[in-house]
């Protein structure tokens, strides 16, 4: 059944978002971690560019930008299960979720979206500011985040980032639903963690993989989390290609929303809530 | 047409069994044995609007399963059920908008949020218009005396305070049916009394249908005109406590404080239930032996300081009933 109005979903989004913003200590720790790992990855990549003989499909400055963007938006990666959902499953409080007069899938989708975006917002802003502006001031210009290729590239990049949020929320919700079967989210986290980091391009930018793998890597769903928007950012994908990239992101998002909705319906029909 | 119509409802759970020890765990990786647990076996009853019904039964009898099916959270294995013309699990979204549910052992409030924030979130989730939300919340806040608690995070509340807030939360959208699953569990005497008064008020004055599952027989005695006793997944009895008492007429208890030590006293027409110091409790059937006859026999040989005659308590009635129907948890 389709609900009229999005009031309840907006409400749960806002509530979760505001609650997440309270975790300032976690955000500070996150920023420190991201600078550290970003720094190491930037230096390692630079070494490859200096020492390596072959020609790469993106320039050194672009690769560095790719890394910093990745670190800034790391929080958007759907690599783990929402601990709140895992606790709910363990305690049986998931019963109350089913007592809400809303579509449980979209209710969880809104919750996942709030969780991912709030965690990202707190980290992304300082990281982007420091790597783009402060690095230049203190003479680290060679390591800094480059501005987008053009105004059009920026606009398309922002559009693509909206698609990232939706794709990531759809994948996160799918992970959350799987907890109904496994009870603990630990096992899934271990598995998805490395899969998402590598296939999204977070560890090594996808354009730096061997040429024969490029098309496959671009078409698989996880490229839509990191690779597509960042290549739009420095106009590696522009015009029709950029639009196609965003369309691909939306295609995967719709597919995962459909799949998630189906899984939720099936799962809830077979759920067993004991005790109480 | 009853508000709630339940017909031949059954629910079977499939439970995976773990084998013992390390070898068992290893084998469990490859093959699992499943056991079917029949939580409900053909339950039928009807409930009219404005009724207040108690559901009791030993642990594991199927009370919670029944409530969860009626709420739309669980799907039965077979059978049919309609609440206000809706099938709870098929038309869940419309159904749950009209019911309120309190699980005494859980909370539906957001742990880290002040109570009032949880209320406002529920207002949005249930799409309650602001005007009616204000009126309802105001009434509930004063009836449940929670105005001092509204700005405290839920995690800082005592169990009694939390329960009052949880009940208010379940009623913000003015449901026509309220499901209560052990609402008084762990509460102190005052909190229990206040809560019972509130539930009674809600039922009598607002006409809310109340379904109360509990182990607390005082809850039942104070509130429920009608009681469903469930055991082994079946309804063993459907009626009032007064009718149950009428089924076991004449069961009385005579408690006497003797002025002297009476040793192993026995008397014709009664059996000794317990003996503590000079106090002796006798059980007798008032239809066979009249109380004054029994007292006469006892005073003939002994001096009596004090005596009282009691009817069996609801607890005793129910415990006897469970025992005579074999409805004791395995």
The per-residue pLDDT for range A167-208, each reduced to its tens digit, is 999 999 999 998 877 766 677 777 888 889 889 888 888 888
CA nearest to B63 within chain A: A276
Over residues A226-239, the mean pLDDT reads: 90
pLDDT of residue B21 exceeding 70, the answer is: yes
Percent of chain A with pLDDT over 70: 94
Torsion over CA: B219, B220, B223, B229 (sign): positive
Quote the domain boundaries for residue B257.
249-311
B103: which chain A residues are within 8 Å (Cβ-Cβ)?
Answer: 95-96, 276
B231 and B294 in a single domain? The answer is no
As a whole number of angstroms, the distance between CA B184 and CA A259 comes to: 42
A270: which chain B residues are within 8 Å (Cβ-Cβ)?
Answer: 75
Which residues contact residue B174 at a Cβ distance below 8 angstroms, ignoring those fewer than 6 apart? Answer: B128, B132, B136
Task: Judge whether B326 lies within some domain.
Answer: no
Q: Domain total for chain B?
A: 2
Domain boundary among B245, B264, B290: B245
**Smallest CA–CA separation between A263 and chain B, in Å?**
16
Of A146 and A261, the one with more pLDDT: A261
Q: Which of the listed ranges A54-63, A70-79, A154-163, A206-215 does the model predict with the highest average pLDDT?
A: A154-163
**Smallest CA–CA separation between B58 and chain A, in Å?**
13
How much is the pLDDT for B13? 85
B68 vs A5, A19, A95: nearest CB: A95
Secondary structure class of B7 (helix, strand, coil): strand
Tell me the DSSP string of B150-177. TTSBGGGS-HHHHHHHHHHHHHTT--SE
B40 and B14 in a single domain? The answer is yes
As a whole number of angstroms, the distance between CA A197 and CA A195 comes to: 6
As a whole number of angstroms, the distance between CA A252 and CA A248 comes to: 6
Of A48 and B72, the one with more pLDDT: B72
B115 and B226 in a single domain? The answer is yes
As a whole number of angstroms, the distance between CA A272 and CA B144 comes to: 33
Between chains, do B181 and A276 touch, taking CB under 8 Å as contact? Answer: yes
How much is the pLDDT for A35? 86
Which of A235-239, B177-181, B201-205 shows the lowest mean pLDDT across its residues? A235-239
Q: Are A263 and A104 in contact (CB under 8 A)?
A: no
B275 and B303 in a single domain? The answer is yes
B26 and B97 in a single domain? The answer is yes
B216 and B278 in a single domain? The answer is no
B68 vs A10, A12, A273: nearest CB: A273
pLDDT of residue A233 exceeding 60, the answer is: yes
B91: which chain A residues are within 8 Å (Cβ-Cβ)?
Answer: 1
Nearest CA to B102 out of B45, B172, B46 is that of B172
Task: Judge whether B318 lies within some domain.
Answer: no
Between chains, do B101 and A8 touch, taking CB under 8 Å as contact? Answer: no
Task: Judge whether B288 lies within some domain.
Answer: yes
Torsion of CA A227, A230, A235, A236, to 10 degrees: -30
Task: Judge whether B324 lies within some domain.
Answer: no
What the block records as the tokens of A235 is 């106009």
Q: What is the DSSP letter of A128?
A: H
B123 and B204 in a single domain? The answer is yes
Percent of chain B with pLDDT over 90: 49
Q: How far is CA A131 from the centre of its chain?
A: 20
As a whole number of angstroms, the distance between CA B185 and CA B172 comes to: 22
Domain boundary among B245, B280, B297: B245
As a whole number of angstroms, the distance between CA A127 and CA A31 comes to: 7
Nearest CA to B92 out of B77, B81, B102, B106 is that of B81
**Smallest CA–CA separation between B283 and chain A, in Å?**
37
What the block records as the tokens of B203 is 């039922």
Task: Judge whether B276 lies within some domain.
Answer: yes
B34 and B165 in a single domain? The answer is yes
Domain boundary among B189, B214, B245: B245
Nearest CA to A198 out of A42, A77, A63 is that of A77
Between chains, do B108 and A96 touch, taking CB under 8 Å as contact? Answer: yes
The H-assigned helical ranges of B53-98 are: 63-71, 92-96
Nearest CA to B215 out of B169, B248, B182, B246 is that of B182
Q: Are A199 and A85 in contact (CB under 8 A)?
A: no
Between chains, do B94 and A1 touch, taking CB under 8 Å as contact? Answer: yes
Over residues B253-263, the mean pLDDT reads: 86
pLDDT one-digit tens code per residue, B128-159? 999 999 999 999 999 999 999 999 999 999 99
Which of B17-31, B183-197, B202-216 shows the lowest mean pLDDT across its residues? B17-31
Nearest CA to B71 out of B61, B81, B57 is that of B81
* pTM for this model (two decimals): 0.86
B73: which chain A residues are within 8 Å (Cβ-Cβ)?
Answer: 95, 98-99, 271, 273
How much is the pLDDT for A185? 64
What is the pLDDT of chain A when averaged over all its residues?
86
- pLDDT band at residue A143 using 50, 70 and 90 as cut-offs: confident
How much is the pLDDT for A272? 65
Quote the domain boundaries for residue A37.
2-273
- pLDDT band at residue B161 using 50, 70 and 90 as cut-offs: very high
B25 and B149 in a single domain? The answer is yes
Q: Token match 């420190």: residue? A: A32
B285 and B169 in a single domain? The answer is no
The pair phi, psi for residue B294, each rounded to 5°, is -65, -45
What the block records as the tokens of B317 is 């009635």
Which of A29-38, A47-56, A58-67, B106-115 shows the lowest mean pLDDT across its residues? A47-56
Q: Token match 């939360």: residue? A: B169
Q: Domain total for chain A?
A: 1
Angle made by CA atoms B272, B276, B281, in degrees to the nearest 5: 30
Q: Token match 């990191």: residue? A: A226
Torsion over CA: B261, B266, B270, B272 (sign): positive
Task: Judge whether B259 lies within some domain.
Answer: yes
As a whole number of angstroms, the distance between CA B231 and CA B322 comes to: 8
B180 and B38 in a single domain? The answer is yes
The pair phi, psi for residue B166, each rounded to 5°, is -65, -40
How much is the pLDDT for A2? 41
């Amino acid at each position: 059944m389709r609900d009229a109005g999005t009031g309840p979903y907006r409400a749960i989004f806002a509530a979760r978002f505001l609650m997440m913003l309270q975790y300032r200590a976690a955000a500070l720790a996150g920023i420190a971690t991201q600078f550290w790992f970003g720094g190491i990855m930037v230096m390692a990549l630079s070494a490859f560019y200096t020492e390596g003989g072959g020609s790469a499909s993106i320039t050194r400055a672009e690769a560095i930008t790719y890394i910093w963007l990745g670190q800034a938006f790391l929080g958007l990666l759907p690599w783990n299960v929402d601990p709140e959902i895992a606790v709910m499953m363990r305690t049986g409080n998931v019963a109350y979720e089913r007592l809400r007069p809303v579509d449980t899938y979209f209710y969880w989708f809104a919750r996942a979206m709030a969780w991912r975006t709030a965690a990202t917002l707190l980290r992304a802003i300082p990281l982007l500011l420091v790597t783009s502006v402060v690095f230049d001031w203190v003479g680290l210009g060679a390591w800094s985040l480059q501005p987008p290729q053009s105004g059009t590239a920026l606009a398309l990049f922002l559009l693509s980032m909206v698609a990232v949020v939706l794709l990531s929320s759809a994948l996160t919700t799918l992970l959350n639903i799987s907890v109904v079967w496994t009870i603990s989210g630990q096992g899934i986290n271990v598995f998805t963690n490395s899969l998402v980091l590598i296939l999204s391009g977070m560890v090594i930018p996808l354009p730096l993989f061997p040429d024969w793998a490029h098309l496959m890597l671009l078409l698989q769903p996880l490229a839509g989390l990191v690779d597509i928007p960042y290549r739009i950012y420095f106009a590696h994908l522009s015009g029709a290609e950029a639009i196609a990239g965003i369309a691909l992101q939306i295609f995967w998002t719709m597919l995962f929303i459909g799949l998630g909705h189906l899984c939720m319906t099936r799962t809830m029909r077979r759920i067993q809530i004991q005790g109480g | 047409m009853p508000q709630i119509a339940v017909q031949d409802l059954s629910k079977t759970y499939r439970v995976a069994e773990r084998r013992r020890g390390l070898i068992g765990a290893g084998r469990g990786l490859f093959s699992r044995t499943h056991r079917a647990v029949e939580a409900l076996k053909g339950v039928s009853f009807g409930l009219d609007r404005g009724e207040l019904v108690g559901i009791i039964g030993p642990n594991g009898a199927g009370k919670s399963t029944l409530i969860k099916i009626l709420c739309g959270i669980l799907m039965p294995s077979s059978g049919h059920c309609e609440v206000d013309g809706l099938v709870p699990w098929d038309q869940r979204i419309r159904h749950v908008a009209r019911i309120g549910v309190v699980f005494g052992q859980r909370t539906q409030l957001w742990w880290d949020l002040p109570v009032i924030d949880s209320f406002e979130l529920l207002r949005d989730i249930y799409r309650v218009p602001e005007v009616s939300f204000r009126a309802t919340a105001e009434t509930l806040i004063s009836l449940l005396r929670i105005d001092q608690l509204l700005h405290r995070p839920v995690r800082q509340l005592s169990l009694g305070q939390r329960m009052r807030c949880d009940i208010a939360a379940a009623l913000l959208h003015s449901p026509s049916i309220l499901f209560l699953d052990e609402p008084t569990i762990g509460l102190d005497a005052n909190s229990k009394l206040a809560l019972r008064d509130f539930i009674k008020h809600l039922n009598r004055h607002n006409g809310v249908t109340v379904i109360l599952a509990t182990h607390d027989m005082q809850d039942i005695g104070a509130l429920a005109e009608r009681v469903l006793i469930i055991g082994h997944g079946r309804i063993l009895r459907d009626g009032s406590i007064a009718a149950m008492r009428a089924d076991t007429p004449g069961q009385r208890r005579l408690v006497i404080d003797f002025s002297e030590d009476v040793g192993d006293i026995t008397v014709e027409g009664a059996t000794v239930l317990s003996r503590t110091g000079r106090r002796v409790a006798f059980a007798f059937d008032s239809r066979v032996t009249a109380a004054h006859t029994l007292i006469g026999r006892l005073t003939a040989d002994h001096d009596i300081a004090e005596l009282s005659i009691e009817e069996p308590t609801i607890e005793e009635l129910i415990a006897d009933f469970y025992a005579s129907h074999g409805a004791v948890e395995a």
